[in-house]
A and B are shown apart, each in its own frame.
Chain A
C-alpha cells in the first residue's frame, strides 16, 4: 500500500490485530473503573434533575417557563438548536469524511455517531415539551385528525423539522448499528459469560465476516454515507428555516442555512473533542486517538469557526447596507442593547478563540484543545441565545418590549439534558466497543 513518508501513522504503539481487539474490548469485559462510576453517577444525578423539572413542567404547566410574549422562544429552542447542532459532527465524520477518504475518521467515528444519537434525543425533548401538552406530541405527524379532516401543514418549516429530525435520528441509528455489527460479533466470540454470549450474539445477527458479506457491507456503507451527506446538510438547513422563513428582523435572512450548517459542524466538533479528550485520557486510547487526530479535528474547528465568523460579519454588513431600519436596529441592539454581554461572549468564543489553532502548538496540546473545545460549546450556545432572544425581546411595538430570563425549571431542564447525554454515553462506553475495531484493523499499518 502506498504511504507518504511525511505522514504520521494513524495508530501508534505498533499494535497488532489482537492488541486492537484486546484494547477495545477491555472496558466491556472488565468491571467498570472508578472514573467510569464517577462519570456515570454524575450523569444519573443530572438525569434525575431532568426528570424532576420535566415532571414539574407537565404537572404545573408551561407557565413554569418564562417564555411569554413577546419572547415565545427562549432557552428551550436555544437548547434544541444547540443539541441538534452537536448532533451534526457524528454523521459528518462517518459520512462526509468517508466520501473524502479521510482515514483518520476510523478511530473516532463510532463515538461521534453515538454522540449524535444521544444529542438528537436531548434535542427532541425541547420542542416536545414546549408544546405544553406533551401527551399530544404525536399531533405533528401526518395522521388523520380526530376533529375533522384537517391535516398537518406542509408549508410550515416546523413540520419539515419533524420529518428532518426523525429521519436524521433513524438513519444515524441504522448507520451506527450497521457499523457496530462486526464489532459486536467480535465481543460475542470472546464472551465467557452466558448473558454476554446471548446478548451480543443476538445483536450480531450471525455475522461471521465472510468475504461475501464484507463486499456487500462496504457497498451499503458507501451508499449510506452518500445519502447521509445531503441529509446532514439538510437537517440544519431546515432548522435554520424555522427562523429564516419568518418575518422577524434578525431572522429573515438567506444566509441562515449555510451559516447554521457551518455552525452545527463547528459546535459538533467542539463537543466531539470535549468527549474524546476525556475518553482518550480515562480509557487510555492515546495510541488510537493520536495527536494527529486531534490536529485534524482542530483544523475543522478552525475552518468552520472562520466560516461562522464571516457569516456574523456578513449579516451585520447586509443589515447596515439594506437601509431597512428594523433590521439595522436589531443588529445595533444585539451589539449594544441589554443582551450585549451575550453577543460579545459569542463573538469572543466563536470568532476569536478558535483562531489560536493557526499555531501548531495549540493544535497538538490536549489540555489546551480541551479548554478551547469548552469555549466553543459555550460560544455556540450563546449564538442561538443571541439570535432567538435579542430578535424577539424588541417587538415592532415598543410597548411590548420585555426582558427575558430563564426560570430554575428551564435551567434545570438544560442541565438535565446533559445528564441524559452523559448517562447514555457512559453506558455506551461500558457496553459497546468505543472504537471501530474492524475499520481500525485495516489501517494499523497505514499512514495518513
Chain B
C-alpha cells in the first residue's frame, strides 16, 4: 500500500450525511443559494445533475481520447504500410503491393484506433482522478460507498455562514448526521482503529452518550436528534441494565473499545445482546457508525445466547 493520503490530505470538513439523492441535491442547492462553498460530495452511485449543481464543467477527457484514437490510426497505418509496402512487399498472385491495397489495412487501423482510444482514455481517467493500485482511500463516512451520501464543506475555506449555521441548515435539509469537524480516514486501518478514529472525529459519540447516561436527561441539540431517537429505540427494547455486568469481549467480534461504547449506550449483559432486534441493530450501527451488517454476519445474538447458557 502506498502510505499516503492523496485526496483530502489533512483537511477538516463539516459533513452532512444523507440517505437520499434528492435530499442531497436539494441541500446542495440551498447551501449554494446562501453562498456556502461546497468542497465535494461523496456518493455510492452517480447522482444525476449533481456535478452541474456543484458547478463542475464537463471533463476534457474526450479530447484526450480523440487524440489517442488518432495516434492509434496512425500507428495502424504506419505498421501495415511499412511492413507490407516499404520493407517487404508480399506479391501474391501478381497483385500490386502499394498504397492501392490500403483497403485491406482498414481492419487493423480500425482495431488499433479503438484499442488506443480505450486504453488512453482510461489511463488518463485514472491519472486525472489520482487513482492507482494500492493507494489508500479517503473516506468521510464508512458507508459512503454503501448507502450514505456525504456532503463535505472545507472548514479552512471562508464561508458566508458560521459553522453552526451550516450545521443546522444541513439538519433542516434532512441530514441523518451532521458533523462540524471530520477528517478523512481509510478502511485499511484495523476495525478497532478505524472505529476509534471515527468516534473521535464525530465529536465522540461515546462520551456524548455517556453524558446522557449520567444526567439521565435527554440532551437534545440539533446534531443528535437522530441519536436520541435511536437511543430510545435501544432502551425501550433492551430495557434498563440490572444485575452483574458480563464480559462482552467474549463475543467474537467485540473488542475492548466497542465494549466501552456498548456500555456507554447501556448494554452490559449477554442477556441484553441476545434480545437485540433488527431495529436495535440498525440503531446501533447508526449511532456508533459501525460496520454495516457485521453484527448479523458474526451472529452476536446466537453467540450471546450460547454464552448465557454456559
Contacts and interface: CB of A to CB of B under 8 A. Distances in A.
Interface of A: 16-18, 21-22, 25, 29-30, 142, 149-155, 157, 159-160, 163-164, 167, 170-171, 174-175, 178, 181-182, 185-186, 188-192, 194, 197-198, 201-220, 223-224, 227-228, 230-231, 234, 238, 437-439, 441-442
A163 B111 contact: yes
B114 interface: yes
Interface string B120-153: 0110011011111111111100111111000000
Given A17-B146, A234-B110, A442-B48, 11 more contacts: A151-B87, A153-B84, A153-B90, A155-B90, A189-B144, A189-B187, A194-B190, A206-B137, A210-B40, A214-B50, A234-B111
B45 A211 contact: no
A96 B101 CA distance: 32
Contacts of A155: 84, 90, 92, 101, 104
Interface stretch (B51-59, B214-222, B270-278): B51-59
Interface stretch (B29-37, B162-170, B172-180, B291-299): B291-299
Given A151-B88, A201-B188, A214-B47, A208 B42 contact: yes
A186 B42 contact: no
B293 to A, nearest CB: 6
Given A151-B88, A188-B187, A220-B61, A170 B136 contact: no
Contacts of A204: 137
A174 B159 CA distance: 41
Interface in B279-310: 291-294, 297-298
Contact of B118 (A192, A198, A213, A224): A224
26 contacts: A17-B19, A17-B44, A153-B92, A157-B107, A163-B108, A164-B107, A174-B122, A185-B145, A188-B137, A189-B187, A191-B187, A201-B137, A206-B132, A206-B136, A207-B131, A208-B7, A208-B138, A210-B42, A216-B125, A216-B128, A219-B58, A219-B59, A220-B125, A231-B111, A441-B44, A441-B147
Contacts of B87: 149, 151
Contacts of B41: 210-211
A208 B145 contact: yes
Contacts of A208: 7, 42, 137-139, 144-145
Contacts of B131: 181, 205-207, 213
B45 A442 contact: yes
A446 B263 CA distance: 43
Contacts of B88: 149-151
Contacts of A227: 69, 114, 117-118
B135 A192 contact: no
Nearest to A231: B114
Contacts of B83: 142, 151-152, 154
Contacts of B79: 142
Chain A, interface SS category: helix
Interface of B: 1, 6-7, 19, 40-48, 50-51, 54, 56, 58-59, 61-62, 65, 69, 79-80, 83-84, 87-88, 90, 92, 101, 104-105, 107-108, 110-112, 114-115, 117-119, 121-122, 125-126, 128-139, 142-147, 187-188, 190-191, 291-294, 297-298
A207 B137 contact: yes
Nearest to B138: A208
A211 B61 contact: no
B140 to A, nearest CB: 8
Contacts of B136: 201, 206
Contacts of A198: 1, 188
A185 B111 contact: no
A170 B116 CA distance: 11
Nearest to B105: A154
A209 B56 contact: no
Contacts of A209: 42-45, 144-145
Nearest to A148: B88
Contacts of B138: 206, 208
Contacts of B122: 174, 178, 220, 224
A186 B107 contact: no
